[in-house]
Amino acid sequence: MSSIAPDPEPVHAPIWGHDLTLPIGLGTNVFGRTIDEPTAYRILDAFLDAGGTLIDTADTYSDGAAETVLGKWMRDRGTRDQVVIATKMGNHPRFEGLSAAAVSGAIEESLRRLGTDHVDLYFAHYEDPQTSVDESAAAFDALVHAGKIGAVGLSNFSANTVQDWIGAAQAGGHVAPVALQPHYSLAHREPFETDFVPIATAEQLAVLPYRALGGGFLSGKYRTEASTEGRARGAGVLPMLNPAGQGLLDTLEAIAVSQDARPATVALAWLMQQPTVTAPLVSATSTDQLDELLAAPSVVLSQDEQAQLAALPAP
């Protein structure tokens, strides 16, 4: 008797009702900063062609130009309904913090720049110690009920404040957050692994780690101080040029050779295979770079390879 094998379970949980066929989010902090509009269009087109849907932006990226370019691309290409848009508020000079006034003002500007009537996921970008989480949770809840945002996310919060916000949402009958956006990669493991894995698991939060390539460090292209000179991200990777960083790159490169892949692809594959990670956020400044990132879902690391990488200290 023959039997038909069932379809494999999806590796990653759907996020707030959006099934991600490609569990990678495209970051846009390079739009208007290190890449011009035609390059941004080529990268967005290639991402969409590859099945990508999740795009992450913020009201502060390039003073709003990232949202504007993304909005223009969605209008020119007619793609608004094909993508899941996450944006963030909280440190724009005109809408600083997470007060009710800042939240209700910032969303209008983001919607105008994006040329849409709603964003799918709205992140509080940073904690605001001056505003109670009750006020912020109520302000985000009001946007959900107004149809201006689909869901609420928290970025760069401490685990305690995430828990406080969830408690305030429960107590006030407000929509609870569904997603976290923490800094997490092989180049930056803590505090995510200690503080956020437990809360993401317990509260069933989607996790969208940012700077998933360590700002480009995990591609292996920065090995010496000289290699950082004249590079837009050079200064940011300098602190990783230490023995732990070199050890990490050596292991990534060895695994990349055995997987017939690139180190950036392996680093992203490792992150995607972490059980709490929903979709890492990455940016690219060329379609060649993007191709290496889009290959990550097809690289399946063995348990031994995963353990080798996990055992290395972050640089």
Stretches 89-97, 189-197, 278-286, 298-306: which one binds ligand NAP (CB under 6 A)? 278-286
Tell the burial category of 104 from Cβ atoms under 10 Å away from its Cβ (0-12, 13-18, 19+). middle
Side-chain half-sphere CA neighbours of 236 within 13 A: 12
201 within 8 A of 192, measured Cβ to Cβ: no
Residue 285 binding ligand NAP, by CB under 6 A? yes
Smallest distance from the beta carbon of 108 to ligand NAP, in angstroms?
Answer: 21
3-state secondary structure of 240: helix
Q: In the bound complex, what is the minimum distance in angstroms from residue 98's beta carbon to ligand NAP?
A: 14
Nearest-CB residue to ligand NAP?
Answer: 27
Q: How far apart are CA 37 and CA 71, in angstroms?
A: 12
Beta bridge partners of 15: 18
Answer for which of 16, 196, 210, 270 binds ligand NAP (CB under 6 A) is 210
Quickly list H helices, the chain.
Answer: 37-49, 65-77, 100-114, 133-145, 159-172, 197-203, 225-228, 234-237, 243-259, 263-272, 287-294, 303-310
35 - beta bridge partners? 31
Site string for ligand NAP, 154-183 (x = CB under 6 A): -xx------------------------x--
**Among 59, 120, 141, 292, which residue interacts with ligand NAP (rule: CB under 6 A)?**
292
What is the token pair recorded at 295?
Answer: 């290959």
Task: Please indicate whether residue 61 is annotated as part of the active site.
Answer: yes
153 binds ligand NAP (CB under 6 A): no
Using the rule CB under 6 A, is 245 a contact of ligand NAP?
no
Binding flag, residue 188, ligand NAP (CB under 6 A): no
Considering only residues 60 to 119 of the shown chain, the ones binding ligand NAP according to CB under 6 A are none
- Please give the residue ranges that form the binding site for ligand NAP (CB under 6 A): 27-30, 34, 56, 155-156, 181, 210-216, 219, 221, 232-233, 264, 281-285, 289, 292-293
Active-site annotation, residues: 61
